Structure 1
């Protein structure tokens, strides 16, 4: 078991072997956490490629919606109390192909159509993706990014002489602490293992080493605001036509470590309309290039049954090193591809690894006769074809479908621990077939199933916690794994219809919601009918659900902030920003993440920079204190 106290040799051994499939879910998550911690403090254990394409990819493959993938990877917390950042610092969505950029541009085009804007006239900005140490400067203090919401005050770096890159002015928001590549290679490489190690050293409270201090005094190390980065500006058509030239030229505009190019749309209306996920802004994307190919022989194609019943083909390969990892599996997407391309034992393929969850079969060089399964590998039921895919129709008794469905439920709730794959497999082997049955377990039954006294009590405590801790109703709905209903669609649905009424909805009801097409609506109605019985039984257990405010209620709300757009900034005393955001939405307000010309109120807590307040006032935004805001609600 890997833990934060594991010796470096144990961690290095896992990194060197690059076989994450051998790790349990808990070990894989702990390894990722440890690697991120070491990387953020300037002591990387593994390369970016290994982290992204080997270990993080394994987590994505097992659990595509794991909370670790949906949160901002935290920067190392240095000494000092953490405080709320003036603005949230999110991660950036990544793609490793031009196709990914094209799909992102299509989403921008759709947003432009919804706003009545001419897509061809939109301007896009491309900047170098700095590989430094993320921080936020509000003009009074400099903060680490922390977890994206709270950081640590590291203003001491300015007291040590660190300057601001670009125009040299303070208070320009997010940026990164970076060091000149030429200076590092000439003056620092003998004293620091890498640039990030140096960057972390100048942040720490301890007295600076002389070479680090000299780098600051020589202005080789700077805090560079993103707003000041040299850039390329152009249209979407120019991005597609000149893509290769852009991604080659933009990184060369700076003398700092760069690991890609960031593209963003510049129109403030588009940004506000598209908003952000809990992890990244939708109006921005990073292109990272890391493509390698290899010629590999397929040993066999193994069928695996998912929670939806789809049987997916996984090509088992001769172990091959690619992008710093030993690759032994690749996706074949579906069995029609296996059948049509002749992928079987002995097939020679060209394999590409470019940041995908698992490597991609680029093309077949030597086809062989494929073996198409006739029966489900989990339950033995006869498989049926549906378009390109093979499905197991045994939705009630198939072990793989049951276990994957249960694991998805608890993983989606995000307020319960202990119910990972191994626990669920053990419960299923003992005859537990549903989430509802798990909630009926008591101490004696768990002990009888082979769980220890302490483990049994912990599992029961977690089940109680999952029902008593506050939980958004849209997350609860999403836990049932409704086809074509991710968490975003669940929240959107419940903004129009109360939770317990959704099983009576018609196709017309669903397609009336923006973003729901007829095909999606038909799939949702079918899926809702299938889960209704389980849903009602589990709902009756008494979960502490937070109701999503209906749009109609928001429109009719009589509160003074109904229909207003509000941005919260600084540390609040009334409650966390999440609590205040939830309350404001309940009262009919729209809550933004950043100030724009359409913002009505900027509500300020403590530790808010004067530059941010001035910028808001220049846009005509009314700035009020937290106390004034609460008084207004009365």
Structure 2
């Protein structure tokens, strides 16, 4: 059962067992219950409790199990869940909760040199945007202390809390705690740590682990005599990050001597260390790159926690995603890595299956570190791959697109139906209410085509379990989508024809009117810029499949603005030739108006952020997907006001 100390931490953290019993909580911790069998509420409750107990010094599971088993499972189900995109809360200690002098964020993590190299490319892109020579930048590497995060402003001492508010624990300095190496107060963020050698010699008999000891130093109650002695001996100290031993140098030297430098810094102090911190020292770069709610973009932690094993493949099962992509799921003989029982891995795409001989009977090396799903490190003994010819969901013929196999039967494939309906309303962009939850309820009531949705009245919605007010709102939104003007290319793109995103739809309708496109020949499409022969063939097949539904919806009388070509010559605009993506709700006009204006000024406007994007222009109520993509690719993010200043409006 939970100890009294553990129960006290949960009480102070306002955490109660709502979805789990104490018995099941401990069964999960002992791995008697697999994390994959927990529902979302149970998984999140376990994570919150495990986090509070670990940070409170009374760990239920190890840090590695927490990261690589339970957080990994949460990321697999909900990659953008708030618990993994913000600073994880700490246990509440006695003391006044106050605003921190500065935000104390977590640190983004990397588990391979290639991930560090990707981070460095984002640094380089920021340097290029600021006209700073990348080779002149100084990179800094310091140990990543595994202690208790705190902040010292010289007068008061705080826990990190949730990164914005922490607990005043100034009493810790009043008890005699010193700054490491006889340093002065007021050096900002750091960690409360205890020497490893000292802990093993004098404290391990009385404390389960160093985390348990560090938490005891912070607690309001009188210090246990061994902890008090450790403080007197200056074995337990507050170590400001500013005083940590560091390596500094250029990216070229860091990349060339990466393993050597990491090893040197990792063992530079006699404290618990669980990685190294890499950061850029140039304040201009730091300001330019900024931070997410979770971490600074100019800083990253490199951690090593890789487990590998050789295992035999039982079979490769094709699965159809909601986008129509066929994913090869590799089922393997059950094996436990990094605390989790693994029975499957992802081969990423069928080109990889073909190239590496990933088939039944093949022997592969699995590696699991910070990855949510185990990675196929290498194929040791290849086998004949088994490639699907038809969609496992609807039986349609599959087509290759680069490395991937796709099912293009968007509106009839069961695996894609809900996604296709959601995509239709989202691309139209002139309605509200038809999100995943609404569409799921419609699907459960056998409403699985868009034309059927437009036939529904308020009574029909109520009969399916929607409330009276919501039912009328849904009807109103359907009418709004019919009467509010949209571009003809947006209407076409809403049908989700493979290879016909917003850009290609606009290109096509710049030459042909909407009713004409279904009678086009392959030669006529190939003649257009950006349409290769293979693309034209796929587009024609896709148009043929949607034609009946298109005709039904077109007859409903959507108000469509016909495409007109109008572009400003390059060089007469600050955004001419630039690639832009707009997202969020704009205040100075509709997003569609801003897109039209940008195109008229010679810009290229896309719908998704990539490495080729120059600016992501954000309004209000912005989702995480595009922001995360911009961060990944080092794309400059502009507010609506900054963008309008840029174009001189």
TM over 0.5: yes
Contact 1:305–1:312 (8 Å) recurs in 2: yes
Q: Whose relative contact order is higher, 1 or 2, with alpha carbons under 8 Å and at least 6 apart?
A: 1
How big is the shift at 1:255? 1.2
How big is the shift at 1:4? 5.9
The answer to whether structure 1 residue 312 and structure 2 residue 405 are counterparts is no
Correspondence for 1:363: 378
Contact 2:394–2:414 (8 Å) recurs in 1: yes
The answer to whether structure 1 residue 501 and structure 2 residue 515 are counterparts is no
Correspondence for 1:12: 26
Contact 1:292–1:354 (8 Å) recurs in 2: yes
SS at match of 2:237: strand
How big is the shift at 1:3? 4.0
Partners of 1:214 and 1:499 lie apart in 2 by: 64
Correspondence for 1:120: 135
Q: Deviations over 1:70-104 (max 9, x none)?
A: 11111112234422211111111100001111111
SS at match of 2:261: helix
**How does 1:450-461 map onto structure 2 within 5 Å?**
none
Contact 2:19–2:41 (8 Å) recurs in 1: no
Distance 1:512 1:345, change over 3 A: closer
Partners of 1:114 and 1:11 lie apart in 2 by: 50
**How does 1:137-152 map onto structure 2 within 5 Å?**
137-152=152-167
Unmatched segments (≥5 aa) in structure 1: 411-418, 468-479, 525-546, 558-587, 589-634
Distance 1:260 1:483, change over 3 A: farther
Correspondence for 1:249: 264
Q: Deviations over 1:312-356 (max 9, x none)?
A: 111111111112222111110101111222212222111111221
Distance 1:286 1:434, change over 3 A: farther
SS at match of 1:250: helix
Distance 1:100 1:23, change over 3 A: same
SS at match of 2:370: coil
Partners of 2:146 and 2:365 lie apart in 1 by: 31
Unmatched segments (≥5 aa) in structure 2: 1-15, 426-434, 478-493, 504-579, 617-637
Partners of 1:62 and 1:309 lie apart in 2 by: 19
**How does 1:344-363 map onto structure 2 within 5 Å?**
344-363=359-378
Correspondence for 1:41: 56
The TM-score normalised by the length of structure 2 is 0.68
SS at match of 1:202: helix
SS at match of 1:213: helix
The answer to whether structure 1 residue 341 and structure 2 residue 356 are counterparts is yes
Distance 1:32 1:183, change over 3 A: same
**How does 1:125-274 map onto structure 2 within 5 Å?**
125-274=140-289
Partners of 2:641 and 2:74 lie apart in 1 by: 35
Q: Deviations over 1:120-176 (max 9, x none)?
A: 121111000011111111122111111111111111111111111245211111111
Distance 1:147 1:551, change over 3 A: same
Partners of 1:278 and 1:260 lie apart in 2 by: 22
The TM-score normalised by the length of structure 1 is 0.70
Partners of 2:93 and 2:451 lie apart in 1 by: 44
Contact 1:498–1:550 (8 Å) recurs in 2: no
How big is the shift at 1:500? 3.7
Correspondence for 2:520: none
How big is the shift at 1:392? 2.1
The answer to whether structure 1 residue 65 and structure 2 residue 80 are counterparts is yes
Correspondence for 1:302: 317
SS at match of 1:158: helix
Distance 1:352 1:496, change over 3 A: farther
Distance 1:52 1:552, change over 3 A: closer
Correspondence for 1:626: none
Partners of 2:90 and 2:462 lie apart in 1 by: 41
How big is the shift at 1:266? 0.7
Partners of 2:344 and 2:468 lie apart in 1 by: 36
The answer to whether structure 1 residue 101 and structure 2 residue 116 are counterparts is yes
CA RMSD for the aligned pairs?
Answer: 4.3
Contact 2:153–2:187 (8 Å) recurs in 1: yes
Alignment size in residue pairs: 505
Partners of 1:84 and 1:437 lie apart in 2 by: 53
SS at match of 1:44: coil
How big is the shift at 1:404? 5.7
